[in-house]
Every structure is written in C-alpha cells, then in structure tokens.
Amino acid sequence: MTVPDAWYLGLSAVLFAIGIVGVIVRRNPLVIFMSIELALNAANLALVTFGARLGSPDGQALVFFVMAVAAAEVGVGLAIIVVIFRSRHRLSVDDLSLMRW
Amino acid sequence: MTPIPAPPIAWNALLPILVLAGTAMLVLLADLLPPRESKQHLGALALAGIIAALVIALVRWGTDVCGFRDMVRLDGYALFFDIVIAYAAALVVLLSMDYLRRRGAESGEYYALVLFAACGMMLLASAGDLIIVFLGIELMSLSLYVLAGLFKSRRQSSEASMKYFLLGVFASAFLLYGIALLFGAAGSTNFERVAAAAARNPHDTLLLIGVALLLVGFGFKISSVPFHMWAPDVYEGAPTSVTALIATGSKAAAFAALIRFLTTALRPLQPDWTALLWILAALSMTVGNVVAIAQTNLKRMLAYSSIAHVGYMLVGLVAGGPQGTSAILFYLFAYVFTTAGTFGVLTLCERTGGTPEPDGDGAVDVREYAGLGRRSPALAFALTFFLLSLVGIPPLAGFFGKFYLFGAAVRAGYVWLAVIAVLNSAVAAYYYLRVVVYMYMREPEGAAATLAPSFAGGLALAIAFIGIVLLGVMPAPFVELAQVAVAPLLR
Amino acid sequence: MARAAFVLVALLAVGAALGLVIKKNVIHGAMFLVVNMASIAALYYMLGAEFLAVAQIVVYAGAIMVLFIFAIMFLIPGKDETGPDPRRWQRALALPLGALLLILLLAVVAAVRGTGPPAAGPATSGALYRALLTDYLLPFELTSILLLAAIVGVMVLAKRRPG
C-alpha cells in the first residue's frame, strides 16, 4: 500500500500552521526564528510531494534552492540576533522597548 | 552516463543585473587596496556601475529578450523598472557618500550590499518564474536586513534590523507556501504555465489558496495594511540612507513582480484579486494617513505616509488595464524621486543633531526643523518642493501621479475607491504642510548650525529635484513610456 | 507497511513541532527541531527524493541547527521568557488564526484527495542533477550571489568598528 499524496500534504499543512502559531505565541527571537524554519520545512515538504505527483524533478530543484536560501538566512539572522542580544539581560522580543513590536 | 548538454545562456536578458553584480564584487576587491582611510572612491565605483546599468537599460529600450526557459524576461516593462531602480540606487549611493562619512560608518561592504540589493530588485523586475521572484526577494531582503542594522551601537538600528528580519522571513514562509501550492496547481512555477492552469480551472482550491498566501507575502514586502507593522520601526531605526533605499527601490521592485505576476499569470482570476486589493488599498490609504498625523518623528511620519502611497498605487492595480497599470509605473517613477529627495534632505539635516558619537540619533523630530527656512534656505526650499509633490500639488510630479491613478480608477468604475483616495490626499496635506510651517514660521530653539550639503549630497538633491519638476511639467512623454512598458504585460 | 511507517514518522514530526512551540527551554526546542528535520528527511526518502533526504540531514539538521545551538549557547545563560506576558491578549489571537490557516490548508488536502492524477512516481536523483545544471542554471548561479551577499552581510555585522 503506497501512502497517498494527501497524507503528506496534510502533514505539511499541520506543520506549517504549528510554525506560524509558534511565531506569534513565542517571545524568544531564537524560538520565533526556529518556528519560521519549521514553516519553511513544511513548504518544502509540500513542494517535494507535488513534485513526486508530477514525476518531474522540478519540486526537488525548488527545495534545493530553498535550502540554500535558508542557510543564508540563518547565517544573517543569527548574526543580527547575536549582535542585539549580546548586551541584554533577557532574551525576548518584548524587551525591544525602544520600538513597539 | 550521458553528458549534460550545456544550456543556452541568454546574456542579453541579464545584462544590467550582471553589471551590478560584477560591480559589487569589484567594490569588495577594491576595498582591500589602498587608500584605506577614505572610502569615497568605492562609492564612486559603485555609482559608476549603477550608471552603466542605467545606460544599458536606456540603450536596450525597445528590445524584448527571454532567457533560461523564460525565467527572466528583459522587456520594456523590466527595463522601465530597471531605470527606476537604477535611479533609486544611484541617489542612495550619492546620499550615502555624504551621510556615512559624517557618521564615520563608510565601508566597502556597504556599497557592495547596496549593489546586491539592487541586483535582487532588478531580478524581481524581470522575473518570469516564481523561483526567480523568491530568489530576487531574498537577495534584496538579506542585503537590506544587514544594511538596516549598520549602526550597530545604536539600539534602534539593530532592533530595526531584527524586526525587519524576523517579519521578513515570516513573510517569506507565506510566500514559499503560496509558491508550493501554485506549483501543485500548475505543475510549474513559470508564469505562463500558471496562467494556462488558471485559465483551465480558475476556481481550483489549490490555486486560490496559493494566491492568497502569496499575496500575504507580497503584502509584507510592499508594506500594505494589515501587513505594515514592520515599516514604521524599520524606517525609524535604520540609517536614513538605507531607509531611502527601502522606501524607494525595494517597494518599486516588489510592485514590479506583483504587477507582472497578477496581470500575466493570474489574469483569469482578476475579479477575485481585484476585490481583495480593493480592501487592501482602502485600508492602506486610510490607516497610513490617519496614523501619520499623530507622528512627530519625521522618519516615522514618512513611513506611515509611504504606507498610504502603497494604498494609492494599489488603486491603480484595482483599476487595471493599460491605464491603471501604466499609472502605477508613472507614480512609482515620481515617487522614487520625491521620496529619495525627502530622505536626502533628512540625511543632510541629521548632522545638526549635535551628537558627538557617530551612531547618535540625528535630527528627525519635526521640531528640529523649526527655522530651517532661515538657516539653510536651499535645503528648506528643496524639502518644501518634495513635500508638496508628496501632497500632490500641481505642477509637481506627485500631482500627475495621483491624477492618472485616480482617473484610471474612475474610468474603470471604481468611483468609491477614487473618492476615498481623494479624501485621503486631503488628510495627507495636513501633516506634510505642518513640516513646511515649522520650517518657515517657527523660531528654532537655541542656536542651530547652518547646513551646507557636500557635493555628492547636493548632486543627489539636484537630480531628485529636477526629476520631480520634469515629471510634473511635462508628464506626457513619461506616461507614454509607461504605457509602452506595460504593453507586453497586457497582450 | 509504508502507511504504518508514514504514520510513525508523521507523529514524530508533529510531536517535535509541538515540542518546539510549547516547551519553554530553548535548547530543548532546538533538539525538537532537529528531530523534526530528521523526520522530514525520512519523508523525503519515502517520497523518492534521496538527494534531498541527505541534504536535509547535512544542511538543516546539521549545519543550520549547529548554528542555532551555537547562538543559543552564546546568548542564553539566564535569559529566558520569564515574568508575565505583557501582550497575553494579543497572543491569544494566535490559536484562532492558526486554526483558520489549518482549515484553509486542509481544504487543499481535500481538493487534492479527490481529483489527483495517479502518482507518476518520483524523479530520479540523476534527473535532479541534470535539471539543476540545465533548466535551473540561472537560479543555481543566483544562489551563489545570494550566498556571497550573505557572507558579506555577516562580516559587516560581526566586524567591530576600527578605532
């Protein structure tokens, strides 16, 4: 018995929703960023599933590029977060009191 | 193992982008060579690259080349936006040469990142495939996230950078999921294949939800209400020259990709996205203008006003057709000059903040502009004109921009939207003119220094000034250019 | 058999995702994310995308998560989300919003379930390599510019101002 595509897409949808909720609910910028990575992974899963449905390598190629972009994003993003929170006592986006979130 | 055949490479379709990327790498290399104490020559080098890209775009006007399996397309539309983006980048580089040296923050990497961001913007302008849209947005945004946090020791700057980053990546996640669903619906990310799929089955659930998610992502990038919450803080916290780039270039580029995608790939769905954009346009105009009234920080005020301007441009997209679409292009052209000029005056005035440390906050409060008319008449005169153009007073560029946009909306039957837009423009006049009142009718508190822009800064202001006057006095040829530019989209 | 394996891996992925969002401890969150990424790699393998399965482990579960953990170690001691939440009300909106999103996306699943053409079977890794170097040559090269821009950006952020 093969696994239907809809199962993969359902899982992808659930993971995406969890990621988005995580971004809104959490206050730690690192956890927010990890939740975003979760959502990106969910999108990747959907891409691979659709690609397999079509039998073309396009879906996999797109995921390849998303991975490269994600790696670049993580490098830049963590540098930004480290620069800003190196001198703070608490790690929370609510502490960015100078400007409203 | 069969050898992989080398694919054809359409250099022509990438020329302006290649020039910018090449210049960025040259700037990075030249940064290693002497002279090390001044970085002005790197700014000049970056400027030369941008001018070369601009010249290429002008020379190639009228051509139409596709390449890489139709992933990029350098047609009139892309060339028009390349010109707009090149102007924005050139003005920003000129302003930065003056601003960064005063702040002691000049570096080769800054100019390289501006060039990389411009590269991403031009990619967006000629993208014919969603993967190029994604990569273009990411290239542009990654560079801008870093640039926004350039003044590391200033808290607002790094906070702006982080907020811009987290919300930007959040938006990218929506964009990517939208792309995934469209890929599922169309079997390809190419605009033409998406268009074919949309024509076959315009009410495919996959397609509709994919478009909705994609519009959320784009909404963040153009900062339309309700996806605007990053804009005020980022505009305020980022170095003013970077704010100018975010307000002009990145907005124009995101609009370029959005318009091309909606009008070519999603034409069968036009009634659906028009209804959605109607709401976004009305919300953006109203929220932007009403909140701008309450601001005393000029950068924040301009952020809210830019949200309102996004609303005006969305009016053109709602109106659609050759008139509405070309009106957006004209408006963006005018908007780039006006906004770059306004932020240009702000960068020049920031030095009077009197803060000794390089990262100190400059003069951005409206009260600090009191008496500017007497202290430096030329700057006050220029700022007055830029603000009047933002209000939309004839015969400046902003007036004709609004005139064409709202006219197109009325002709397309969206009278109510046009009425909302006109009312909003009237509200906007209040907070723009308040700055003018401060400059000419209030006495400065304490002794304020007189200002003299450097050559580069003065040149940037002069170019922006000539731009808005030229577009205002003789708009007809530029409107024709915009109409020629949108023709390939609406075939 | 394949279905049982899918259910197992999917439960692992969802559980890990929930762990990331719910657990207060950041390091535990990062570990949950590693588990999530690894289970997604397993799913890629089941979908016939062997190359991506390996890349997922190497790039995501490996490189990216190491960076995250490095940043956590660098920043964390004693810094956590403590004290009352100043925006509890605003955050309460997250759940209905998430539910709405989930319903929307599950509508996608329903749409796919009925009409989907028979699975054409996965593309081979060879086809992927070929596609990356021919059809996707431009995006491939663009990623190199993107990575260069990211490197320059990180350098700018890490560098201390001279003097």
| The pLDDT of residue B310 | 96
Q: Do B233 and A93 touch (CB under 8 A)?
A: no
| The pLDDT of residue B142 | 96
ipTM comes to 0.93
Candidates C137, C139, C148; nearest CB to B7: C137
Residue B422 has pLDDT above 90, yes or no: yes
Q: Do A76 and B179 touch (CB under 8 A)?
A: no
* Phi, psi at B65, each rounded to 5°: -125, 145
Q: Do B183 and A62 touch (CB under 8 A)?
A: yes
- Residue C162 neighbours by CB distance under 10 Å: 7
Q: Could you tell me which chains touch chain C, where touching means 3 or more CB pairs under 8 A?
A: A, B
| The pLDDT of residue B356 | 40
Tens of pLDDT, residue by residue over C108-163, are 878 776 555 455 666 788 889 889 989 999 999 999 999 999 999 999 998 865 43
Residue B35 has pLDDT above 90, yes or no: no
**Residue B483 placed within a domain:** yes
Residue A99: pLDDT band with limits 50, 70, 90 = very low
Q: Do A99 and B138 touch (CB under 8 A)?
A: no
Task: Calculate how close chain B gets to C127, using CA atoms only, in Å.
Answer: 10
Candidates C49, C51, C95; nearest CB to A21: C95
Residue ranges of the alpha helices (H) in chain C?
A: 2-22, 26-46, 50-55, 65-75, 88-92, 94-115, 125-133, 137-158
Residue A87 has pLDDT above 90, yes or no: no
- Residue pairs spanning A and C at CB distance below 8 A: 251
Identify the residue with better confidence: B8 or B335.
B335
| The pLDDT of residue C37 | 96
Q: Could you tell me which chains touch chain B, where touching means 3 or more CB pairs under 8 A?
A: A, C
Cα(B409)–Cα(B105) distance, rounded to whole angstroms?
Answer: 45
Candidates A25, A64, A90; nearest CB to C94: A25
Tens of pLDDT, residue by residue over A61-70, are 999 999 999 9
| The pLDDT of residue C88 | 64
**Residue B13 placed within a domain:** no
Which chain A residues are Cβ-neighbours of C10 within 8 angstroms? 7, 11
Which chain A residues are Cβ-neighbours of B166 within 8 angstroms? 23, 29, 32-33, 36, 77, 93
Q: How far is CA B191 from the centre of its chain?
A: 23
Helix (H), strand (E) at residue B72: strand B72-74
Task: Calculate how close chain C gets to A98, using CA atoms only, in Å.
Answer: 15
**Residue B409 placed within a domain:** yes
Task: Using CA coordinates, name the residue in chain A closest to C91.
Answer: A25
Burial of residue B385, with CB atoms counted within 10 A of its CB: 0-12 exposed, 13-18 middle, 19 or more buried? buried
Residue C107 has pLDDT above 90, yes or no: no
**Chain B 386-405, residues with CB within 8 Å of chain C CB atoms:** none
**Residue C82 placed within a domain:** no
Residue B353 has pLDDT above 50, yes or no: no
Q: How many CA atoms lie within 13 A of B280 on its CB side?
A: 28
| The pLDDT of residue C103 | 84
Residue type for B193, please?
A: R
- Residue B270 neighbours by CB distance under 10 Å: 14
| The pLDDT of residue C98 | 83
Q: Do C112 and B184 touch (CB under 8 A)?
A: yes
Residue B92 has pLDDT above 70, yes or no: yes
Q: Do A84 and B156 touch (CB under 8 A)?
A: no
What would the mean pLDDT of C75-94 be, rounded to a whole number?
64
Candidates A9, A73, A83; nearest CB to B152: A83
Task: Calculate how close chain C gets to A26, using CA atoms only, in Å.
Answer: 7
Identify the residue with better confidence: B443 or B397.
B397
Which chain C residues are Cβ-neighbours of B126 within 8 angstroms? none
Residue B158 has pLDDT above 90, yes or no: no
- Residue B452 neighbours by CB distance under 10 Å: 12
Cα(C147)–Cα(C59) distance, rounded to whole angstroms?
Answer: 14
CATH assignment at residue A70: 1.10.287.3510
Task: Calculate how close chain B gets to A99, using CA atoms only, in Å.
Answer: 6
Q: How many domains does chain A have?
A: 1
Cα(C41)–Cα(B355) distance, rounded to whole angstroms?
Answer: 53
| The pLDDT of residue A96 | 56
Which chain C residues are Cβ-neighbours of B14 within 8 angstroms? 138
| The pLDDT of residue B446 | 64
Handedness of CA C17, C22, C26, C32 (dihedral sign): negative
pLDDT-above-70 percentage for chain B: 96
Range of the domain at B353: 25-490
Residue A91: pLDDT band with limits 50, 70, 90 = low
Which chain B residues are Cβ-neighbours of A56 within 8 angstroms? 187
Which of B273, B408, B393, B211 lies closest to B328, judged by CA? Answer: B408
Q: How many domains does chain B have?
A: 1
| The pLDDT of residue A56 | 86
Burial of residue B443, with CB atoms counted within 10 A of its CB: 0-12 exposed, 13-18 middle, 19 or more buried? exposed
Q: Do C146 and B138 touch (CB under 8 A)?
A: yes
pLDDT, averaged across chain B: 90
Range of the domain at A15: 5-97
- Looking at residue C124, the DSSP 8-state letter turns out to be P
Which chain B residues are Cβ-neighbours of A71 within 8 angstroms? none
Cα(B107)–Cα(B115) distance, rounded to whole angstroms?
Answer: 13
Candidates A9, A24, A82; nearest CB to C94: A24
Q: Locate C18 and state its tokens.
A: 């929930």
Handedness of CA B322, B328, B331, B333 (dihedral sign): negative
Question: What pTM does this model have?
Answer: 0.94
Q: How far is CA B482 from each of CA B72, B129, B213, B261, B414, rounded to the nearest angstrom?
A: 20, 23, 29, 17, 22
Q: Do B189 and A62 touch (CB under 8 A)?
A: yes
B349-361 CB burial, b ≥16 within 10 A, e <16: bbbbeeeeeebeb
Handedness of CA A83, A88, A94, A96 (dihedral sign): negative
Identify the residue with better confidence: B297 or C114.
B297
Q: Does B145 touch chain A (CB under 8 A)?
A: yes
Residue A93 has pLDDT above 70, yes or no: no
Task: Using CA coordinates, name the residue in chain B closest to A73.
Answer: B142
pLDDT-above-70 percentage for chain A: 84
Q: Does A78 touch chain B (CB under 8 A)?
A: no
Cα(B408)–Cα(B325) distance, rounded to whole angstroms?
Answer: 9
Candidates C70, C97, C116; nearest CB to A24: C97
What would the mean pLDDT of B275-282 be, rounded to a whole number?
95
Candidates B170, B176, B236; nearest CB to A43: B176
Give yes or no for a contact between C140 and A77, defined as CB atoms under 8 angstroms apart: no
**Residue C12 placed within a domain:** yes
Tens of pLDDT, residue by residue over B163-189, are 999 999 999 999 999 999 999 999 999
Q: Do C143 and A65 touch (CB under 8 A)?
A: yes
**Residue C163 placed within a domain:** no
Q: How many domains does chain C have?
A: 1
Residue type for B145, please?
A: Y
Residue A100 has pLDDT above 50, yes or no: no
Reduce the DSSP state of residue B295 to 3 states and report it.
coil
Which of B183, B207, B178, B173 lies closest to A49, judged by CA? Answer: B183
For residue B365, the cross-strand partners are B297
What would the mean pLDDT of B424-444 be, rounded to a whole number?
90
**Residue B10 placed within a domain:** no
DSSP structure string for chain A: -PPPHHHHHHHHHHHHHHHHHHHHH---HHHHHHHHHHHHHHHHHHHHHHHHHHT-THHHHHHHHHHHHHHHHHHHHHHHHHHHHTT-SS--GGG-TTS--
Residue B296: pLDDT band with limits 50, 70, 90 = confident
Give yes or no for a contact between B269 and B212, defined as CB atoms under 8 angstroms apart: no
Helix (H), strand (E) at residue B67: strand B65-67
Give yes or no for a contact between B138 and B130, defined as CB atoms under 8 angstroms apart: no
* Phi, psi at B67, each rounded to 5°: -160, 170
Cα(B389)–Cα(B461) distance, rounded to whole angstroms?
Answer: 14
Which of B133, B137, B165 best tests the A interface by mutation, with the highest count of A CBs <10 A? B165
Q: Does B4 touch chain C (CB under 8 A)?
A: yes
Give yes or no for a contact between B399 and B392, defined as CB atoms under 8 angstroms apart: yes
Tens of pLDDT, residue by residue over B197-215, are 999 988 888 899 999 999 9
Which chain C residues are Cβ-neighbours of A45 within 8 angstroms? 40, 43-44
Cα(B230)–Cα(B250) distance, rounded to whole angstroms?
Answer: 14
Cα(B231)–Cα(B264) distance, rounded to whole angstroms?
Answer: 29
Residue B361 has pLDDT above 80, yes or no: no
**Residue C56 placed within a domain:** yes
- Looking at residue B73, the DSSP 8-state letter turns out to be E
Residue B339: pLDDT band with limits 50, 70, 90 = very high
Residue B396 has pLDDT above 50, yes or no: yes
Tens of pLDDT, residue by residue over B101-137, are 888 788 899 999 999 999 999 999 999 999 999 999 9
Which of B152, B177, B230 best tests the A interface by mutation, with the highest count of A CBs <10 A? B177
Which of B284, B395, B261, B391 lies closest to B335, judged by CA? Answer: B391
Which of A53, A64, A95, A99 best tests the B interface by mutation, with the highest count of B CBs <10 A? A99
Highest mean pLDDT, choosing among A54-58, B218-222, C99-103: B218-222
Burial of residue B102, with CB atoms counted within 10 A of its CB: 0-12 exposed, 13-18 middle, 19 or more buried? middle
